[in-house]
Structure 1
Amino acid sequence: MNAQGLTTPKENVQQLQEKLGRAAKENKKRRFHALYDKVYRRDILWEAWRRVRANRGAAGVDEQTLADIEKQGEFQFIEECHQLLKEGDYHPSPVRRKYIPKKDGKQRPLGIPTIRDRVVQMAACH
């Protein structure tokens, strides 16, 4: 909680995770059928964006970089994610394929999702 007594997006996400975790531990047979609305919550998306930005990473097939999103406006980006998810219009993009060398001389495929897809994945997982 900050000086004004308000919780931060990170704290809101942690509270939600703890609440869901407690419910799952209290009843091992409990099933969570309606979690989709949690994914597009703005506080969840902001925390997911913060984590994706901290991880850095390359652009996906859309060639949109973290700097591009910051230049466009993070608020607009989060709002677009929110609307696409809420309205059911979000569809993941193809993954950019890159090959990185292995010690044995072979190459290992690496999939690089778009930043939007990484934020949505982070929101769904965390």
Structure 2
Amino acid sequence: MKTETCLPKRAEFYRRQPENHILVQNNKDDVLIRATHDNFSDQRKAAFIRELAAEGFIPDHYQWFSDPDASNYLGIRWVVDSSWLQINNQIARKGEMLCGRALMVAAVLWVILVALVLMSVG
């Protein structure tokens, strides 16, 4: 008797080597993998797909996946798309404030250095 497993509809991953944010979506007939960068080789894609299947994020039959060129025929689509990635507004504001402060400090230091050069010349 075949048992139904409960696969997550959506799972997000972050890889450091190479740096990439990845979204895996299980649809009824296929699996969509969205990556923010196109920095995975075909062998790395195949290994990642096998790992997803082994960990239970996509159907089990992908554990023996080996040919990334035939991925569209096997029900896996690998897309480079960063539109799904959302940056936390609070973190973005903190980054903007930090950059603004750094620019202000640099401007004040530049004015002081110019004033010192003008005083030493005169």
TM-score range normalised by the length of the shorter chain: under 0.3
Normalized against structure 1, the TM-score is what?
0.25
Relative to its length, the structure with more strand (as a share) is 2
Normalized against structure 2, the TM-score is what?
0.26
- Higher gyration radius (CA): 2
